[in-house]
């Protein structure tokens, strides 16, 4: 069931968050008359990993370049540990950048790459040696110290790049699509290694990526960008389970969307179906057009019509497609729309035309874990009853303008 009380956005909750190590305030930027950022503001806490997530052209790389000092904003300010660095040269900001290409020196060994910045800064030989030794141990590359970059795997090269950046003792780390050049299996392993490393060194980090899974695994918080606007920022759980806009719901994972209208009694009407929506519906006026948003894994399926007590009944429907996808099963279920009286002993059903060109109903995607799918197998064409363990009600605005109706 949905909680009646929404998460608090109070002074107490804000006080519990870590202090800001870096902040951007009101960033706006245009290139050749095209607006790529519009009034973007957020903080990165001490020791926090914040992920900027967005599609190509969303503005995430521009934000990274502005923080690094490689671009100047048209408006807005950048602060690092409380110091306004908006007009400070890149080399004086204390920011370390790890690019996708790593940019290692090909003719230098691992230890020479790591110590290069210390050498050109004139640090004493003993200090350099001790620093390089500690960093190689930190990134688990002590036994690779004499190798050239060409003799290392992509993941090892990434760790060399991080160690080289940490040698400067940066106040903040910026990661520019750091895993894009690696294959899927190495990417997963390296994400976990980098996350553990960041916890050890306690340096705030900002990642940019378009990979949703990467964002969920790496970030203490995720900031979702769309067309230069900050759509939502929060923990992975908050952004995934309580999206504030349709864009966030559909970009960060799979989501079903059903058009509805807010009805009396905190309900949402979806055709012939009236769904008890509790506090979700209470945020809107009666008669307001809304969208019901729910994740495929939050749908429960019953062949008998018996539903869990903590699940909100949705509708009945017909299983149209069934796919085995490794750890789970994916179903396409077409929901019934027009009510009819049930026969004796039958759960409430709804009339649906079987002619494809006249078929009524709305298809939704359902995922079931392998144990559930094995315990209660379903066939294509079988009728089922659906309920929702969790859902979100959002205003029915077109994507381009839905920021004006954002739910707080």
Hey, CA dihedral for 216, 203, 200, 154, is it positive or negative? positive
- Residues 244 and 259 occupy one common structural domain: no
How confident is the model over 241-263, as pLDDT tens digits? 999 999 999 999 899 999 889 99
- What distance in Å separates the CA atoms of residue 332 and residue 361, rounded to the nearest whole number? 12
For residue 400, the model assigns a pLDDT of 40
Q: How confident is the model at residue 341 (pLDDT cuts 50, 70, 90)?
A: very low
Q: Are 244 and 329 found together in one domain?
A: no
Do 139 and 181 have their domain in common? yes
Strands of the 20-31 sheet, one edge to the other: 34-45, 20-31, 75-80, 83-84
Q: For the chain, give the percent of residues with pLDDT over 90.
A: 59
pLDDT score of 344: 61
| pLDDT tens digits, 277-287 | 999 999 999 99
The long-range contacts involving 236-244, CB below 8 angstroms and separated by at least 24 positions, are 238/7, 240/216, 240/295, 241/295, 241/390, 242/7, 242/392, 243/293, 243/392, 243/394, 244/394, 244/406, 244/407, 244/408
Is the residue at 182 inside a domain? Answer: yes
Query: 48-65, pLDDT tens digit by residue?
Result: 999 999 999 999 999 999
User: Are 215 and 326 in the same domain?
Assistant: no
pLDDT tens figures, 299-323? 999 998 888 888 999 989 999 999 9
CB atoms within 10 A of CB 316: 22
135-145 average pLDDT score: 90
Residues 133 and 276 in one domain: no
User: Alpha-carbon Rg of the chain, whole angstroms?
Assistant: 26
Q: Where does the pLDDT of residue 151 fall: very low under 50, low under 70, confident under 90, or very high at 90 and above?
A: very high
HSE toward the beta carbon, residue 338, CA cutoff 13 A = 6
Confirm whether 5 is domain-assigned.
no
pTM score above 0.85 = no
Do 199 and 217 fall into the same domain?
A: yes
Show the domain range for 408: 254-295+391-408
> Which residues make beta-bridge pairs with 351?
338
Q: Are residues 324 and 377 in the same domain?
A: yes
Residue 291: exposure state from Cβ atoms within 10 A (0-12, 13-18, ≥19): buried
Residues 158 and 83 in one domain: yes
Mean pLDDT of 135-139: 88
Q: Residue 227: left if φ>0, alpha if ψ -120 to 50, beta else—which one?
A: left
Domain of 186, CATH number, reads 3.40.50.300
User: Mean pLDDT in the chain?
Assistant: 85
Asked if residue 270 is part of any domain, the answer here is yes
The verdict on residue 141 lying in a domain is: yes
Domain identity same for 38 and 136:
yes
Rounded mean pLDDT, 98-109: 86
Provide the CATH number for the domain around residue 367: 2.40.50.100
Q: What are phi and psi of 348, to 5 degrees?
A: -50, 125
Pairing assessment for the beta strands 83-84 and 299-302 based on DSSP bridges: unpaired
* pLDDT attached to residue 139: 85
* Residue in 233, 170, 156, 225 with CA at minimum distance from that of residue 198: 170
Residue 275, pLDDT > 80, answer yes
Asked if pLDDT for residue 362 goes beyond 60, the answer is yes
Q: Quick check: 244 and 235 in contact, CB under 8 A?
A: no
Mean of the pLDDT values across residues 26-55?
95
pLDDT tens digits, one per residue of 171-214:
899 998 877 766 777 777 778 888 888 888 888 999 999 999 88
Residues 106 and 144 reside in one and the same domain: yes
Query: Average of pLDDT values for 143-152?
Result: 93
Is the pLDDT at 1 greater than 60? The verdict is no
User: Does some domain include residue 127?
Assistant: yes
Does some domain include residue 13?
Answer: no
Among the residue ranges 111-115, 138-142, 294-298, the one predicted with the least confidence is 138-142
In a domain, 7, yes or no: no
Separation CA 304–CA 336 (nearest Å): 16
Shared-domain flag, residues 57 and 162: yes
β-bridge mates for residue 274, sequence order: 269
Does any domain span residue 275? yes
Select the more confidently predicted residue: 195 or 331. Answer: 331
The lowest-confidence range among 41-50, 219-228, 343-352, 374-383 is 343-352
To which residue do tokens 């945020």 refer? 283
- Tokens 């908006």 locate to 86
**Which of 250, 281, 309 is at the close of a domain?**
250
Q: Look at residue 402 in the predicted model and tell me its pLDDT.
A: 43
Residue 265 and residue 237 share a domain: no
How many domains in the chain?
A: 3
């Amino acid at each position: 069931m949905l909680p009646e009380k929404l998460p608090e956005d109070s002074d107490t909750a804000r006080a519990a968050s870590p202090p800001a190590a870096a902040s951007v305030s009101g960033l706006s930027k245009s290139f050749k008359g095209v607006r790529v950022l519009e009034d973007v503001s957020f903080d990165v806490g001490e020791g926090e990993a914040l992920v900027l997530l967005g599609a190509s052209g969303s503005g995430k790389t521009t934000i990274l370049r502005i923080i690094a000092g490689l671009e100047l904003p048209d408006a807005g300010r950048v602060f690092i540990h409380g110091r306004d660095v908006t007009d400070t040269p890149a080399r004086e900001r204390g920011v370390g950048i790890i690019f996708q290409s790593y940019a290692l020196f090909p003719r230098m060994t691992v230890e020479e790459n790591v110590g290069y910045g210390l050498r050109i800064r004139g640090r004493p030989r003993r200090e350099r040696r001790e620093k390089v030794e500690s960093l190689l141990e930190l990134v688990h590359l002590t036994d690779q110290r004499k190798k050239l970059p060409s003799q290392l795997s992509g993941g090892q090269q990434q760790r060399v790049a991080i160690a080289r950046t940490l040698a400067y003792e940066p106040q903040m780390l910026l990661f520019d699509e750091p895993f894009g050049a690696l294959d899927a299996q190495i990417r997963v392993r390296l994400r976990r290694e980098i996350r553990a490393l960041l916890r050890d060194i306690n340096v705030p980090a900002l990642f940019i990526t378009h990979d949703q899974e990467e964002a969920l695994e790496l970030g203490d918080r995720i900031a979702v960008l769309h067309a230069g606007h900050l759509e939502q920022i929060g923990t992975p759980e908050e952004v995934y389970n309580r999206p504030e806009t349709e864009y966030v719901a559909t970009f960060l994972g799979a989501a079903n969307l059903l058009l509805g209208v807010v009805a009396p009694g905190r309900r949402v009407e979806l055709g012939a179906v009236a769904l008890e929506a509790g506090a979700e519906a209470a945020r809107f006026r009666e008669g307001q057009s809304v969208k019901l948003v729910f994740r495929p894994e939050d749908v429960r399926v019953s062949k008998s019509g018996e539903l869990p007590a903590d699940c909100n009944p949705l509708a009945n429907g017909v299983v149209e497609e069934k796919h085995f996808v490794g750890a789970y099963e994916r179903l396409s279920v077409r929901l019934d729309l027009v009510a009819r009286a049930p026969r004796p002993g039958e759960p409430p059903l709804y009339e649906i035309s079987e002619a494809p060109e006249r078929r009524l109903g709305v298809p939704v995607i359902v995922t079931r874990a392998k144990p559930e799918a094995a315990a209660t197998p379903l066939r294509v064409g079988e009728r089922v009853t659906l309920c929702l363990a969790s859902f979100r009600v959002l205003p029915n605005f077109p994507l381009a303008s839905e920021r004006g109706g954002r739910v707080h």
